[in-house]
Amino acid sequence: SKTQNSFCYYSNKDNGSCYKNLPSIELENDLYMAIENNELAMFYQPQVDCENETIVGFEALMRWFHPKFGLVSPSVFIAIAEKNGLINELGRWGLQQTCKDALYFEEKCAEPMKFSFNISAKQIHQSNFIDETLSIVNSFDLKENSIELEITESSVMHNLNAVSYFLMELRKSNISIAIDDFGSGFSSLSYLQNLFVDTLKLDRSFISNADLNKKKRTIFTAIQSMAHSLNVDLVIEGVENFSQKQYLKDLGLDSIIQGYYYSKPMSLEDLEKSLFLKYSLQF
Ligand code: C2E
Ligand code: MG
Ligand code: MG
Ligand code: MG
């Protein structure tokens, strides 16, 4: 619907540029009540297999519908929550909602779908983070590996010891792990040898910056072959138009594509409707 699109439009303004002048103290105060007041929602963005153009999963992205300011971008309110510690509560709520929606999907849809949820580095430092995460996921009767946790490459690099331990523990329990914004920091690739990772999500700057010239082609194919030899899935983020998608297909990549070209993040309700229309999955 029209309203939905305009929500998405605002939420996707980079760095919440529309919201620069929002009073952060007021936002912070209101964020304490956001869960209780039912102002948060999880939206889902499809991830599409490049080869056969079928949906293989979704990234869960949090949305805050503020009663006065309208939609506030997660790049604004997650940063606030990381500073004041509310991120732990938002994280629990969001993961729970994601599992609930994943289960709903699993019951309706014949294809297995992976639901991917973002974890902030701050959450990992919480002493009971692993237990809490496992108890949330295990309280839903989901198929193995239907939940994936995303952690950004920069938080991995800054917390290597804590992160390796936590990835190992989570993976024992059949939770998948993705490295988000891969390639965005100037980090050493050597950490990949020792980490238990299922998916690399290539930062969207790769596809969006500069033109897609020959040098670029070499980078994409090199990253793809590295993903192959590490035996991890590759998700390419930020594919916005047909020519970018076609460029990747012409390279012969067998990766997964996530971007506005296929879909913006949507509410569960809209997702269900649009999947039914576009892909005629069995609902
Ligand atoms: P991210 O995890 O890298 O998520 C991808 C972001 O790129 C999302 O922005 C998504 O809407 C946007 N995006 C997807 N396709 C395209 C495209 O084709 N072009 C462009 N320009 N953008 C695209 P969103 O939803 O505003 O989220 C921003 C960031 O906020 C996320 O980046 C993530 O770091 C954080 N975030 C969102 N939800 C959560 C959450 O539940 N928990 C935590 N800890 N962080 C979250
Ligand atoms: Mg992410
Ligand atoms: Mg990302
Ligand atoms: Mg990001």
Residue 12: CB within 6 Å of ligand 1? yes
Mean pLDDT throughout 243-271? 93
């007021």: which residue's tokens? 26
> Does residue 181 line the site of ligand 1, with CB under 6 A?
yes
Q: Which of 180, 184, 171, 102 is nearest to 143 (CA)?
A: 102
Q: How far is the CA of 237 from the centre of ligand 3 (A)?
A: 7
* Tokens coding 213: 């010239």
The CA 203 to ligand 4 mean position distance, Å, reads: 7
Residues 6+ apart with CB under 8 A from 179: 150, 151, 152, 153, 156, 192, 195, 197, 199, 200, 201
At residue 57's C-alpha, the angle toward residues 56 and 60, to 5°, is 165
Task: Return the structure tokens found at 175.
Answer: 């939770």
Write the residue with the smallest CA distance to atom 41 of ligand 1.
62
Among 12-16, 61-65, 92-96, 103-107, the range scoring the smallest mean pLDDT is: 12-16
pLDDT at 1 over 50: no
Summarize the confidence of residues 69-94 as an average pLDDT: 95
Percent of the chain with pLDDT over 90: 65
Q: Both tokens of residue 2?
A: 């029209």
**For residue 12, what pLDDT is reported?**
40
Tell me the average pLDDT across 57-73: 95
- Decide the pairing of beta strands 199-202 and 233-237: parallel
Give, for ligand 1, the residue of 13, 78, 98 to mutate: max count of ligand atoms closer than 8 Å to Cβ. 78
SS (H, E, C) 30-45: HHHHHCCCCCEEEEEE
Q: pTM for the full model?
A: 0.91
Confidence of residue 24 (pLDDT cuts 50, 70, 90): confident
C-beta of 40 in contact with ligand 1 (< 6 A): no
CA of 181 to the centre of ligand 3 (A): 4
Phi/psi at 62 (nearest 5 deg)? -80, 145
At residue 196 the predicted structure's pLDDT band, cuts being 50, 70 and 90, is confident
Q: Give start and end residues of each alpha helix (H) in 86-128.
A: 87-108, 121-124
Residue scoring higher pLDDT (209 or 154):
154
